[in-house]
Amino acid sequence: MSSDLLSRVHTSLRSKIMDPSTTARLLRERLSEKGVISIGTSGFGSVGYPKTFPRALADLAAEEDLKLIVLTGASAYAMDDYMAEKGVVDRRYPYQNNPKMRKLINEGVVNFMDYHLGEWPSLVENGWLYRFMPEGLDVAVVEAAKVLEDGFIPTGSVGAVPAWVELAKYVIIEVNLDVSEAVEGIHDIYRPKHGEPIPIRRVSDRIGAPKVKVPPGKILGIVESHGIDHGGEPAEPGDVERRIAENLVNFLLEEVSRGRLPHNLYPLESGVGVVNDAVFKNLREAGFKGLTAWTEVVQDSLLNLYEEGVMDAMSCTSLMLTPGNLERFYAGEYDRSRIILRPQDVTNNWEVIRRLRVIAVNTAVEFDIYGNVNSTHILGSKIINGIGGSADFSRNAYLSIFIAPSTRKGGRISTVVPMVSHVDTIDHDVDVIITEQGVCDLRGLSPRERAELIIERCAHPDFRDALWSYYKRALGRGGHIPHMLEEAFSFHIRLLRSGSMK
């Protein structure tokens, strides 16, 4: 074993250091009566997932015809990739972003169910998977920067790790030697307690411990690991993305001018991607100061605002930074005192989101003329990634905003349709819809008023006439939400038949 690894493991636990294959076989011996093994792993936003042991376990499972039930906080890209190749996964929860795993899910080979990330750890704790895990979670497999006498320091994400460690029979810790020990000090580990409020009143509040605690007797093995998780270099926004960002920032400025938002806004939550990067750039250019973020993932755009003095504090469950910014972060070039990594059942907790009056900005695959949002499925059937935390935030936010370009695939697909082919966020939880065409503030509007505004302001001109035709003919049928069921999916049917919604 390397001296670097020894330096990161407390002396009392060094006897538990072993190679991944030996650890996998030891776990198999402990669970010899099982044909299906359940594992809960670290990982969120493809950051902080275990790199080494899951591969060894997948190899062993393929060799012995075992099946695995895999629980993560959210995504674990390379781990999913290898396990999908080996064909050893029976069930996968609650989110994924890997094409190979997605293919198996859409083919029905892997059983998958999408869950809201904020409630996911407590659902497992409450026994929601009793049919498949009657004895509970077998093993937690986590990535750490350092192993202490009574716990460990996670790496660049927290996710569901505290819950898995608490619930599992055994714990296996991967010490990633490529992650700087300087990550110590940014974590705030707190598990919500039934019947008790989470005592957070400001984004910068710290209420937990800087480590994940684990009884030493639970630790089955400690293995060495390598690899730096990071986000990709952000793409340069095009005209459409810039117009969406401008529309959003202008809407926020208008809300400030009318006294419905303070000058420093309320805490921001934002998904990832090029549009969101453009939004944060525009916030800086618009002169906003004293901003805060209560969100799932921190990317470069947020860190840049913090460095420039625009953002005062950020709370998240995953740091998905590009390699250069990650290196500077670990080297201490940023003041990290107000950047906090928490468990997902705190960052996505409905009580806290509501108390802090979060402004939630999330991306839609499509939305219909009444304001229902599809975030996860293509043509109603094929899942993309999952709902993630978007509904945790949109249901409880002070302002729930959804953004999307008005068309996709070179203009062949309209993002605005008569009826969404899958519903993730219902119209009751959507306050504002924004495309490059304009802003639809839906607050207080009836379904008929919503339809007219969305068609006129958010739909692309190429599809506006068809949407008006549908809506006006539906009005002739009457009803609180006028629809023609035989034509509600006509846009999708045209796409299936001809490759275009036109």
**Residues with active-site annotation:** 296
Kindly state the tokens that stand for 148.
Answer: 């202490």
Give the list of residues 6+ apart from residue 7 with CB closer than 8 angstroms, or none. Answer: none
For residue 274, how many other CB atoms are within 10 A of its CB?
18
Give the position of tokens 């990739």. Answer: 81
DSSP summary character for residue 14: G
* 90 phi, psi to nearest 5 deg: -90, -40
Q: List the one residue out of 301, 423, 396, 404 whose CA is nearest residue 362.
A: 404
What is the rounded distance in angstroms from the CA atom of residue 299 to the CA atom of residue 354?
Answer: 23
From its phi and psi, is residue 77 left (phi > 0), alpha (psi between -120 and 50) or beta? alpha
Pairing of strands 432-434, 439-441: antiparallel
DSSP designation for 209 = B
CA dihedral 203, 204, 205, 209 (to 10 degrees): 120
Residue at 62: amino acid letter: A
Q: How far apart are CA 451 and CA 418, in angstroms?
A: 9
Residues pairing with 9 in the sheet: 147
- According to DSSP, the β-strands at 151-154 and 212-213 are antiparallel
Residue (of 316, 290, 327, 315) closest to 305 by Cα position: 290
Residue 213, judged by CB atoms within 10 A of its CB (0-12, 13-18, 19+), counts as middle
How far apart CA 442 and CA 372 sit, in angstroms, is 11
